[in-house]
Amino acid sequence: MRHIPRKRFGQNFLVDPQVVHNILQAILPLRNDILVEIGPGLGALTKPLLDSINHLHVIEIDRDIVSCLTQKYSVEKLTVHSSDALKFNFSTLGKNVRVVGNLPYNISTPILFHLRKFSKNICDMHFMLQKEVVERMVAEPSTSSYGRLSIMLQCHFEMEQLFTVQPESFLPAPKIQSAIVRMIPLNRKMINEDEEDLFSAIVTAAFSKRRKTISNTLQDYLKPEDFDVLEINPRLRAENLSVAQFVAITNFITQ
């Protein structure tokens, strides 16, 4: 297929067979898996996935790519969802869904936040993302990469950076390095569904002024004496608090 890459859809196509092989080795697809690929593009991952499993779902926003895929593959083998992945209801695919994708960099954070809502339906996810974003996702407290993204995802998923991918592995080559991340929903949720909004608001407030102490940034939520009950030092900054401590603050407020 002749296709001019569209910048607005973040189209950097993977052209390195070794990287494709390494990604497939990380996913290890099984014949009967319920697998959905976000952004199949020109099929770098789609083709080997189709060779490995009975049936594949793909979600693609670019109508030209959609029509090419629907012409090329039978509906028994491939279901093409002509849709924006940010609006896609992943629960319609069933339970134990495996999600994969070389994600368009311009929607990487919103898609991760969207997928959080479906963690009950998801078995695992493997994504190619900007290396810098993956580092923020897996970051530990008291490191420069640790922030809102780390906390909001770590309270739902166990995450692991698998390997990095160089710009030359894509056409056109992006300016940045990429990395593959594995995300597995936690068996036990750290935060209840009805506390999610408050948890998110607390994390956002705490990181609103990164250099300030939490006694300052969380003054709308906690009184000075509350820090003693929580056994959290009020002079710490948001970046020093663990995910469990943010959960404890949320539970304390709602109890």
Q: Which of 24, 26, 34, 86 binds ligand SAM (CB under 6 A)?
A: 86
Contacts of 234 (CB under 8 A, 6+ apart): 213, 214, 215, 224, 227
Q: Which of residues 155-184 bind ligand SAM (CB under 6 A)?
A: none
Residue 47 CB-density burial (10 A; 0-12 exposed, 13-18 middle, 19+ buried): middle
Nearer to ligand SAM, 127 or 246 (CB): 127
Number of residues in contact with ligand SAM, rule: CB under 6 A?
24
How far does Cα 128 stand from its chain's mean position? 9
Among 27, 33, 35, 40, which residue interacts with ligand SAM (rule: CB under 6 A)? 40
CA-to-CA distance for 255 and 247, rounded, in angstroms? 12
Nearer to ligand SAM by Cβ, of 62 and 135: the residue is: 62
Give, as ranges, the residues between 105 and 124 that touch ligand SAM (CB under 6 A): 107
**Binding piece for ligand SAM, criterion CB under 6 A, among 99-107, 150-158, 199-207, 230-238:** 99-107
Residue from 19, 35, 49, 61 binding ligand SAM (CB under 6 A): 61
**Does residue 45 belong to the site contacting ligand SAM (CB under 6 A)?**
yes
Residue nearer to ligand SAM on the CB measure, 44 or 153: 44
Q: How far apart are CA 74 and CA 105, in angstroms?
A: 30
Q: Residue 39 and residue 9: Cα distance in Å, rounded?
A: 9
Kindly identify the residues of this chain, within the stretch 221-240, that bind ligand SAM according to CB under 6 A: none
Q: How far is CA 42 from the centre of its chain?
A: 22
Comparing every residue's Cβ against ligand SAM, the nearest one is 39
Residue type, 163: F
Q: How far is the CB of 52 from ligand SAM (least distance, A)?
A: 15
Phi-psi region of 165 (alpha: psi -120 to 50; beta: other; left: phi over 0): beta
98 pairs with which residues across the strands?
35, 124
Residues forming the site for ligand SAM (CB under 6 A):
9-14, 38-42, 44-45, 59-62, 65, 84-86, 102, 104, 107
